[in-house]
Amino acid sequence: MAYVITDNCTKDHLCVDVCPTDCIHPKTDEPKVEEVKQLFVDPVGCIDCGACVPVCPSEAIFAAEDLPEEKKAFLDTNAAYYN
């Protein structure tokens, strides 16, 4: 997985709009959007472009290798959303 969204996410969907591979969900028109507390990066679809990082106002997106130790569980959280 190249990028990971963490619990700082405010679901503003700015990252969804800039993602060239459409790998950040749920989108505003998807049923799960109201149920979840954050957005998630699909580990298979992410191409490591980094377009999502600078648009995130809550600084919730990290490269997997740069995740702070206390946020490492979000690697699994993001992947689990897609299973």
What confidence tens digit (pLDDT) does each residue in 47-68 have? 999 999 999 999 999 999 999 9
How far apart are the C-alpha atoms of 64 and 5, rounded to whole Å?
Answer: 9
Q: Indicate the pTM of the whole model.
A: 0.93
pLDDT level of residue 1 (50, 70, 90 thresholds): low
C-alpha 51/C-alpha 19 separation (Å) is 6
The set of residues, in sequence order, having a beta carbon less than 8 Å from that of 54 and lying 6+ positions away, is none
Instruction: Please give the domain boundaries of the chain with CATH numbers for all domains.
Output: 3-81 (3.30.70.20)
* Three-state secondary structure call for residue 5: strand
Q: What is the pLDDT of residues 12-50, one digit of tens each?
A: 999 999 999 999 999 999 988 999 999 999 999 999 999
| pLDDT for the residue numbered 2 | 87
